[in-house]
């Protein structure tokens, strides 16, 4: 995400966390950045940090809202050169307690929100034969944990969608990257902590083992610069391999935190 001077970028989740960090970095590098979020105060606070940033209230789970806001960006700033899709929800509930309505909302935000954003910018990028899409899946889509079955399922879906997409459009001139971060110390984590969080996540929060968001964004920068299809920042690759190669040990370990 280095050569962005004069480019038009959209960052979802730009009101806080890694979305905010990325938006500010892009603006500092000369990009014209539109940030999408439903957090009005966070949008305003982020936009106050740079005249290069345009804040827009957008519900990414509403396809009509997404398409209208992207049309506004294209009208006011120009064709979208870069999409960084970081917005998501991360509540925690045991599957037996997670209501159908809440699970459907979670899929609408995390998975369909991804497809709405990607599809809304992709057509223009393909027509111009240039552009870059960076979408946040999660290592939670690979290395599963209790109390977050629905969240893990949404991120598994995002991981799958982005990996297929990047191969389908590989020769189009448009690049797509999937980011699979580990648990990061951002406000998103609080959504889980404040509901029915897995013990492993509570322990990581209490012991200070959550990943530093600035360092994770540094790793994403490096991964994009190396043109990696899938970026596993921090300890994410280790967690993916642990679950894949030793699933019984993985589940024994994560379930062990539930009894503490």
Q: Give per-residue pLDDT as tens, 21-41.
A: 999 999 999 999 999 999 999
* 158 occurs within a structural domain: yes
How many structural domains are present in the chain?
A: 1
Assess whether pLDDT exceeds 90 at residue 1. Answer: no
What is the four-CA torsion angle of 204, 88, 219, 170, rounded to 10 degrees? Answer: 140
Assess whether pLDDT exceeds 80 at residue 62. Answer: yes
- pLDDT tens per residue across span 146-171: 999 999 999 999 999 999 999 999 99
State mean pLDDT over 183-188: 94
* 162 occurs within a structural domain: yes
* 132 occurs within a structural domain: yes
Give the DSSP per-residue string, the chain. ----TT-EEEEETTTSHHHHHHHHHHHHTT-EEEEEES-HHHHHHHHTT-TTEEEEE--TT-HHHHHHHHHHHHHHT-S--EEEE---------TTTS-HHHHHHHHIIIIIHHHHHHHHHHHHHHHHT-EEEEEE--GGGTS--TT-HHHHHHHHHHHHHHHHHHHHTTTTTEEEEEE----BSSHHHHHHHTTT--HHHHHHHHHT-SBPHHHHHHHHHHHHHTT-SEE--TTHHHHHHHHHH-HHHHHHHHHHGGG-
| Residue-level pLDDT at 260 | 67
Assess whether pLDDT exceeds 80 at residue 202. Answer: yes
* 251 occurs within a structural domain: yes
* 1 occurs within a structural domain: no
* 3 occurs within a structural domain: no
* 30 occurs within a structural domain: yes
**Residue-number span of the structural domain to which 61 is assigned:** 8-259
Q: What is the CATH number of the domain that holds 45?
A: 3.40.50.720
State mean pLDDT over 219-246: 97
* 2 occurs within a structural domain: no
| Average confidence score pLDDT of the chain | 97
Assess whether pLDDT exceeds 90 at residue 122. Answer: yes
- pLDDT tens per residue across span 5-22: 999 999 999 999 999 999
State mean pLDDT over 54-58: 98
Prediction pTM value = 0.96
State mean pLDDT over 97-121: 98
């Amino acid at each position: 995400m280095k050569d962005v001077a004069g480019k038009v970028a959209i960052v979802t989740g730009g009101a806080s966390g890694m979305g905010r960090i990325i938006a500010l970095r892009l603006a500092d590098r000369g990009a014209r950045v539109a940030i999408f979020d439903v957090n009005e105060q966070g949008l305003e606070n982020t936009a106050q940090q740079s005249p290069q940033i345009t804040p827009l209230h957008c519900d990414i789970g509403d396809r009509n809202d997404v398409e209208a806001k992207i049309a506004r960006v294209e009208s006011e700033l120009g064709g979208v050169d870069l999409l960084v899709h970081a917005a998501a929800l991360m509540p925690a509930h045991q599957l037996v307690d997670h209501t159908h309505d809440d699970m459907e909302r979670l899929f609408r935000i995390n998975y369909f929100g991804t497809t709405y954003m990607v599809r809304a910018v992709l057509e223009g990028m393909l027509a111009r034969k240039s552009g870059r899409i960076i979408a946040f899946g999660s290592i939670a889509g690979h290395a599963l944990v209790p109390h977050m079955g629905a969240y893990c399922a949404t991120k598994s879906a995002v991981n799958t969608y982005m990996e297929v997409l990047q191969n389908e459009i590989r020769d189009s001139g448009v690049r797509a990257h999937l980011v699979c971060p580990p648990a990061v110390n951002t406000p998103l984590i609080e959504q889980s902590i404040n509901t029915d969080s897995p013990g492993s996540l509570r322990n990581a929060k209490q012991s200070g083992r959550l990943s530093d968001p600035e360092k994770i964004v540094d790793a994403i920068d490096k991964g994009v610069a190396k043109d990696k299809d899938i970026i596993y920042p921090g300890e994410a690759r280790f967690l993916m391999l642990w679950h894949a190669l030793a699933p019984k040990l993985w589940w024994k370990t994560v379930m062990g935190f539930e009894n503490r």
